[in-house]
């Protein structure tokens, strides 16, 4: 995460003219939502020996509003770095409370977690990693073709991006896995999934690469040509290193989306994370336990990709730090 402040924002939320109306609106909202009947509020009142009822609605709403307001006041007084971590911790706690309210079977999750990690996650990472590499190569080739003056290459690149951005990814998986055998080409489930993800995301990333390359001033090309560099050397040694600062953020988003969209490969029977979460949950009608576990695994690896993306962005953006 980048905690640097690019703009000196005034502490608007700490101004009484803003903070007090927020408290009033929060109190009225909690009163309207019958916060006294919320499970946490009922548990606290029961622990205090009080029976929830209409008479306690206003005190509970006022207490919750004051508690949230105090938390807001404290957090907004912290430095930016600690504000981010405080918000993350509090939202993660709320998410945990939300999941705990489902009355999950943790013994069932403990029995099934190994197969999710040892088989499902391994296949998911294998499919995603291969697809990312192939999509990156396809995107670079497609972008170069779209920027060329060769009509043949330009036509092929335009047709490729139009086709694979226009057809849903799920349909592409079916077309490759079930369609190619109709012409005598039999493709296994995992290669079919990798091919579909690579072709689909390669088409989207082609436009990202094209936009990043075109963002570099034409003078850079002319200066490289004046120095006697060949077009290939100009592209890979001069243009792309500068364009990566523009290319990396949207490309990182595509990689994270690809990690999650790899779950669509389960429709052709690949034992990836989502397939196993669905099938293992059916055995004992514990669907929600497996769905939550798989979701948290996806989220954990998305965070890992975000951290890698941040490091790559800092690497290519170090020359532009003010």
pTM of the entire predicted model: 0.79
Q: Which of 46-50, 61-65, 142-146, 239-243 has the highest mean pLDDT?
A: 142-146
Residue 194 within a domain: yes
Band (312; pLDDT cuts 50, 70, 90): confident
Strands (E) in 46-150, as ranges, are none
Query: Which residues are within 8 A (CB) of 62 and not within 5 positions of it... i.e. 6 or more apart?
Result: 27
Range picked from 26-35, 79-88, 158-167, 262-271 for highest mean pLDDT: 158-167
Is 297 in the same domain as 188? Answer: yes
Task: Give the residue from 261, 240, 255 showing the smallest Cα distance to 305.
Answer: 255
* Judgement on whether residues 159 and 87 belong to the same structural domain of the protein: no
- The whole-number average pLDDT for the span 119-132 is 92
**Angstrom distance (rounded) from CA 213 to CA 221:** 11
The 10s digit of each residue's pLDDT in 270-282 is 888 888 888 888 8
What is the spatial distance between Cα 16 and Cα 296, in angstroms, rounded to a whole number? 39
Domain boundary (48, 83, 100) is at 100
Compute the distance between CA of residue 36 and CA of residue 52 in angstroms, rounded to an integer: 6
Residue 5 lies in a domain: no
Per the structure, how many domains does the chain have? 2
- pLDDT of 114 above 70: yes
Is residue 217 in a domain? yes
Q: What is the pLDDT of residue 150?
A: 86
What's the rounded mean pLDDT across residues 300-311?
Answer: 89
Final residue of a structural domain among 82, 100, 118: 100
- Distance, in Å, from the CA atom of 122 to the CA atom of 302, rounded to the nearest integer, reads 15
pLDDT tens profile 30-64: 888 888 777 777 777 777 777 777 778 888 888 88
11 or 258, which is more confident: 258
Give the range among 96-105, 251-260, 288-297 with minimum mean pLDDT.
96-105
């Amino acid at each position: 995460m980048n905690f640097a402040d690019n703009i000196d924002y005034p502490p608007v939320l700490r101004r009484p003219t803003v903070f007090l109306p927020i408290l009033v609106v929060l109190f009225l909202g909690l009163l309207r939502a019958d916060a006294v009947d919320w499970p946490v509020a009922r548990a606290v009142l029961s622990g205090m020996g009080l029976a929830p009822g209409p008479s306690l609605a206003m005190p509970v709403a006022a207490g919750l509003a004051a508690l949230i307001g105090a938390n807001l006041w404290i957090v907004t007084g912290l430095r930016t770095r600690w504000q981010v971590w405080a918000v993350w911790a509090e939202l993660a706690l709320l998410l945990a409370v939300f999941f705990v309210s489902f009355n999950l079977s943790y013994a069932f999750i403990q029995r099934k977690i190994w197969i999710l990690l040892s088989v499902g996650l391994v296949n998911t990472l294998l499919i995603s990693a291969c697809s990312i590499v192939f999509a990156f190569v396809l995107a670079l080739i497609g972008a170069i073709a779209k920027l060329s003056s060769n009509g043949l290459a330009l036509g092929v690149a335009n047709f490729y991006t139009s086709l694979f951005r226009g057809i849903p990814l799920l349909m592409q998986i079916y077309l490759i896995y079930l369609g190619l055998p109709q012409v005598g080409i039999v493709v296994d489930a995992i290669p079919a999934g990798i091919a579909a993800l690579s072709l689909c995301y390669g088409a989207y990333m082609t436009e990202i690469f094209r936009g990043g390359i075109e963002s570099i001033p034409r003078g850079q090309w002319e200066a490289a040509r004046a120095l006697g560099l060949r077009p290939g050397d100009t592209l890979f040694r001069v243009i792309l290193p500068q364009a990566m600062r523009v290319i990396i953020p949207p490309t990182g988003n595509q990689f994270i989306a690809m990690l999650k969209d790899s779950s669509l490969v389960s429709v052709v029977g690949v034992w990836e994370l989502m397939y196993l979460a669905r099938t293992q949950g059916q055995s004992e009608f514990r669907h929600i336990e497996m769905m939550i576990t798989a979701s948290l695994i996806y989220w954990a690896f998305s965070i890992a990709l975000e951290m890698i993306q941040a490091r790559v962005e800092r690497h290519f953006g170090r020359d532009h730090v003010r």
